[in-house]
Chains A and B, each alone.
Chain A
């Protein structure tokens, strides 16, 4: 009963390095999301995928790219990390784009020095 699984749990990067955050869900959900959570800012949507084969920008997409690899997996890539991207990143999924609740993973804690 894994739900939404994120890897890695922790990561430290130097400015300019790149990395990919991985997310997989086993609930057969259609829609997947990437959020970042910062103190005082709440949860902010980076990118989402309403269904397999589609991706769209959210509130704060700059500096990020995503790939919906298949129905289960949705990855987030930082091409050139900046200190402003230090945050906790959450992946979430839900059955459809409307009305159904999001189910979250336990996050990736990223520090960029």
Chain B
């Protein structure tokens, strides 16, 4: 069964304390993996697409990486404005897009 699991469910960091969010997946053929950021009361905002193992994408303090079984979203020296829920979604063969439950990140000054 196609499945996407994000961990941890919630993460509290101090400003400047780097960490990683995990998205593990089991799907019948990966067509793409997407990371989103969602702020309270807003729709998910697209961050990155990764298509193949070994691929990396960066944007400001965020870096996304992909292996054959999981993706990591690394946050370097986070700031309070990085606080949000981060969602990953996996596009599988056959057209199904599967979302994880999200990681709620809180960065305290």
Contacts and interface: CB of A to CB of B under 8 A. Distances in A.
Contact of A43 (B42, B45, B87): B87
Contacts of B109: none
A72 interface: no
B44 interface: yes
Interface stretch (A14-22, A78-86, A95-103): A95-103
Contacts of A98: 31-32, 91, 95
A85 B49 CA distance: 31
B95 A107 contact: no
Contacts of B99: 42-43
B35 to A, nearest CB: 9
Interface in B31-65: 31-32, 34, 36, 41-46, 49, 51
A107 B69 CA distance: 31
Nearest to A97: B95
Where chain B touches its partner, the secondary structure class is: strand
Given A99-B31, A101-B34, A106 B43 contact: yes
A102 B89 CA distance: 10
Interface residues of A, number: 18
Contacts, number: 47
A101 B87 CA distance: 13
Interface string B76-109: 0000000000010101000101011110000000
Nearest to A3: B43
Interface of B: 31-32, 34, 36, 41-46, 49, 51, 87, 89, 91, 95, 97, 99-102
21 contacts: A4-B43, A42-B100, A42-B102, A43-B99, A92-B43, A97-B95, A98-B31, A98-B91, A98-B95, A99-B32, A99-B49, A100-B32, A100-B49, A101-B32, A102-B89, A104-B43, A104-B45, A105-B43, A106-B41, A106-B42, A107-B43
